Structure 1
Amino acid sequence: MAENKKMGLPAKMGIGLIAGVIAGLIFQKAGWNVDYVKPVGDLFIRLIRMVVIPLVFASLVAGAASIGDSRKLGSIASKSIAWMFGTTAVAVGLGLFFANLIKPGVGLSLSTEGLKAKEIVPPSIVDTLLNIVPINPLQAFAEGNLLQVIFFAVFFGFALNAIGERGKPLLNIFEMVTDVMIKLTGIVMNFAPYGVFALITFTVAKNGAAVLLPLIKLIVAMYLVSVIHIILVYLLPIKFIAGKSWREYFKAIAEPLLVAFSTCSSAAALALNLKSTQKLGASKNVASFTIPLGNTINMDGAAIYLGLAAVFVAQVYNIPLTGGEQLTILLMAVLASIGSVGVPSMALVVMTMVFTSIGLPLEGIALVAGVDRILDMARTSLNVFGDNTTALIVSKWEGELGETNLELDEQAT
């Protein structure tokens, strides 16, 4: 008699997601207070993000110390950043193209009375680059500043490698810490179906038809462009550059995608994404570098959203955008992705920089804020897709892409 297989975590999370949609509709229809459900979802996000900073630091130190050769790390870094910025530019371009094609804001007469967006002074390019270097590494840890943690970890790893054999015991400790954090992530993920259920219930109950219907064209445009971007920029390279099966690819990436979709936080999905890339054969050294880095600067989903939202707001306000202004949107969106932390609604902050650069009214941001959570689910999923794809492509270019092993044990990663 065949042994009954236990239901996998992605299936459980899928059930939690569907049940959350149904429960959210019931809560909304009955007029019940959904705020009592929200703490369960918040607890899940806090638990999963609890492991992010220690995992990123330990894995990057171990990875940098293992690579040793600065030219090797430079090769991985340059290829990763070039691919990330290239895909981000494509993402903004697709968002602008389809926004002009679909025209989601034309014909809408949304009231902007009483709407006021928080004014944010965008940092200069020099300040942005300087802020990558932490004055106090412990403060970077406490504030969860991933870019600063990455910078410190890489330098720490090189220094550890430079002291030779004396550093081996410490390197072994960092490798063990990485394994422990991945194991801890697996334990935390047992709570995922309940967290997903609570988050989706709250989202559906709070975003009713009254909010969604006026902006339905914008929502449809966001999800349509996201699917096109996935096919062109992720699935085709995965098949024809990395040589991976789409079926195995989706099976490996299901867990981090569901976490990203339900929590709207690419940081929450980081540990699972790191594990999924190694199941697909990505080099441990490459994955340990590109996944944390991509979590910080690889924002394809946000880039699509910025292009769509800028044109949408311009159409609502009847402000024509010239070709030069749309090119400015593209360039600003790519530059603004540097240092964007993978937390919910970060795109709204970055959007302020883009709107300011082309003179769009900041009140327009408040128009889309009501459905930002719905849009955030799509763009965060794309960010996770992008990080995963980058790790596989760079591993292939470095000649370090191995065979897919979906049964790879967590401790082996």
Structure 2
Amino acid sequence: MKLWIKILIGLGLGLIVGIALHLFDHYNISDLEGFKGFLNVVGQAFINLLKMLVGIMLFSSLVSGICHLHDPKKLSRIGFRTIGFYIISTLVAIGIGITLAFIFRPGRGLNFSLPSDFVVSAKPMQFLDFFAKLIPSNPFHAFAQGDILQIIVFAILFAVAITMSGEKGKGILHVIESVLETMYTLTHFIMRFAPYGVFALIAVAIGTTGFGAVVPLAKFLACNYIACLLQIFVIFTLSLKVLARLQIAPFFKGMKDAIVLAFSTNSSTATLPVSLECVRDHLGVSEDISGFVLSLGSTINMNGAAIGQAVSAIFIAEAYGLELGALKIVILFFVSLVSAIGAAGIPGTGLIMLSVVLGALGLPLDPFGAFALLAGVDRLREMVSSVVNVLGDAVAAVYVAKCENQIDTKQYHAVTWLE
């Protein structure tokens, strides 16, 4: 049975058990309290496993990505155009997600209590103080404390130092890339326990909040879906029509196989071979452009993931009655962009990257609060966001190929639904 099916089964069973726990809660049955305690342990263990991955995965993925981008061949005119498109489209996606989240207010009405160990700063951080605190005095302390922004800064500086070291730096780069691949393998292993973790988290969360969580979760998913649809049918179509000066319909005809696969596998990385075939054989993009742009995009272009991080952060802040000021919104833009760049296009990394965003914003990662609710529906969110990720890469490939005169426009406009 596919993992995503198991996770959805865990979600459904968690809802049923959670409702039962909520209905029988006022009877003060001792056995039920023991069962809830067991669920707490299972849920906390799963969250700790996810948090265990964050620092090392973020550091290694950023260092690896930056070092490869520094390759002079990739930082050519095509490289700059590709990266520029990815960054701008991701920032636009984040803006759409934030705007819709403030319109829908999906987290309102949950009224979760803050964890006992969570401290709200009485004095808002000043702009200059924020930048001063970005520099880690001790990188190991930043990893130990889970200071995400300091880890990001250290990763950037470390990557620059590697590239400046030339041949001498390639050894440590190979080690970091090996660490990154190992973290991906560990992620796959940990995600095997996701159905049980989701079951426990949802059961406890629903058992505590009751039916009051259903409407906020529905609004959360609606907010994500609408943002993804706007990114696809407004931003991407405008990019094709205005920037690439091509018709819109052939693009979706040519990408239909990749769309279906991304939706069903929940993985833009797993969809890459099919995306390459669609862009090259159906849309007429040259092999050089399609290979470079899509391979790079599968690593650093995650528009759908960026939308999810932004909406999730605002959902959690509202669930605890916390306000996000102007500086926190700026941080949200930055960290959502970085987490989207650092996220692997495989199922399950969305929750890991969300913990990165929450840590940077100073929001609670409570295993039995709002985070637990989002963990239960993360699969439903990622199904659509994966499609956005894949289509964003393809739009970039078509745009860059058109600018470089490396697209067969006759083949592009001749594509049909039957191909």
Q: TM-score range by the shorter chain?
A: 0.5 to 0.7
Question: Quick check: 1:146–1:292 contact (8 Å CA) kept in 2?
Answer: no
Work out whether 1:127 is the aligned partner of 2:155. yes
Q: Deviations over 1:285-325 (max 9, x none)?
A: 11111101111110111111111111111111011111221
Which residue, out of 374, 383, 404, partners 1:398? Answer: 404
Describe how 1:374-385 pairs up with structure 2 within 5 A.
Answer: 374-385=380-391
Deviations 1:313-343 (CA, angstroms, capped at 9, x unpaired): 1111011111221121011211222332111
Matching residue of 1:302: 305
Mapped partners of 2:156, 2:99: distance in 1? 29
Unaligned runs of 5+ residues in structure 1 are 1-16, 32-63, 148-201
Q: Output the amino acid matched with 2:359.
A: T
- Aligned partners of 1:273, 1:106: CA distance in 2, in Å? 39
Whether the aligned pair in 2 keeps the contact of 1:140 and 1:146 (CA below 8 Å) is no
> Following the alignment from structure 1 to structure 2, what is the Cα–Cα distance between the partners of residues 136 and 70?
17
Residue 229 (str. 1) matches residue 231 (str. 2): yes
Match in the other structure for 2:27: none
Match of 1:152 in 2: none
Name the structure 2 match of 1:247.
249
Alignment coverage as a number of residue pairs = 296
Q: Distance in 2 between matches of 1:89 and 1:110?
A: 30
| Aligned equivalents of 1:367, 1:120: Cα separation in 2 | 22
Match of 1:267, SS state, is: coil
Out of 311, 316, 321, the position equivalent to 2:319 is 316
Aligned to 1:39: none
2:79 to 54, 77, 80: 77
What are the residue-to-residue correspondences of 1:97-136 with 2, within 5 Å? 97-109=99-111, 122=148, 123-128=151-156, 130=158, 135=172
Answer with 253-262 or 332-341: which moved more.
Answer: 332-341
One-letter amino acid matched to 1:249: F
Structure 2 match to 1:273 = 275
What amino acid does structure 1 have at the position aligned with 2:344? V
Distance 1:214 1:321, change over 3 A: closer
1:269 Cα deviation from its structure 2 partner: 0.3
Kept in 2, the 8 Å contact 1:267–1:295? The answer is yes
Match of 1:185 in 2: none
Q: Which residue of 2 aligns with 1:386?
A: 392
**1-side partners of 2:391 and 2:271: how far apart?**
11
Question: Which residue in 2 is equivalent to 1:350?
Answer: 353
Cα distance change of structure 1 residues 322 and 129 upon mapping to structure 2, 3 Å threshold:
same
Provide Cα deviations, 1:340-377, integer angstroms capped at 9, x if missing partner.
21111222222222212221111243331111111111
For the Cα contact (< 8 Å) 1:146–1:296, is it kept in 2? Answer: no
Native 8 Å contact 1:351 1:365 kept in 2? no
Instruction: Flag the 1:241–1:145 CA change in 2: closer, same or farther, 3 A.
Output: farther
Which stretch shows the higher mean deviation, 322-331 or 236-245? Answer: 236-245
Query: C-alpha separation between the residues in 1 aligned to 2:292 and 2:221?
Result: 33
- Matched with 1:373 is 379
Which amino acid in 1 is paired with 2:77?
Answer: S
In structure 2, give the amino acid aligned to 1:253. Answer: M
Let me know the Cα RMSD of the aligned residues. Answer: 4.1
Taking the TM superposition and a 5 Å limit, the aligned residue runs for 1:158-173 are none
Who is 1:332 aligned against? Answer: 335
Letter in 1 for 2:236: Y
| 1:244 partner amino acid | L
- The one-letter code of the counterpart of 1:75 is R
**CA pair 106-121 structure 1, distance change in 2 beyond 3 A:** same
1:164 corresponds in structure 2 to none
Q: CA deviation at 1:108?
A: 2.2
Identical residues among aligned pairs (%):
29
**1:154-233 matches, cutoff 5 A:** 214-233=216-235
Distance 1:304 1:365, change over 3 A: same
Q: Is the 8 A contact 2:283 2:408 kept in 1?
A: yes
Cα distance in 2 between the residues matched to 1:129 and 1:231: 38
CA contact (8 A) 1:145 1:341 kept: no
Using the size of structure 1 for normalisation, the TM-score is 0.61
Deviations 1:90-111 (A, max 9, x none): 1111111110111111122458
Question: Is the 2:93–2:307 contact (alpha carbons within 8 Å) kept by the matching residues of 1?
Answer: yes
Q: How far apart in 1 are the matches of 2:261 and 2:179?
A: 23
2: distance between equivalents of 1:360 and 1:243? 43
For 1:310 and 1:263, locate their aligned partners in 2 and report how far apart those are by CA, in whole Å.
Answer: 25
Q: 2:278 and 2:241 mapped to 1: Cα distance?
A: 16
Among 271, 285, 290, the alignment partner of 1:287 is: 290
User: Which stretch of structure 1 is more off in the superposition, 75-84 or 128-137?
Assistant: 128-137
Report the secondary structure of 1:370's partner residue: helix
Q: CA 1:342–1:402 in structure 2 vs 1: closer, same or farther (change >3 Å)?
A: same
Bigger drift between 80-89 and 339-348 goes to: 339-348
Q: Give the equivalent residue in structure 2 for 1:175.
A: none
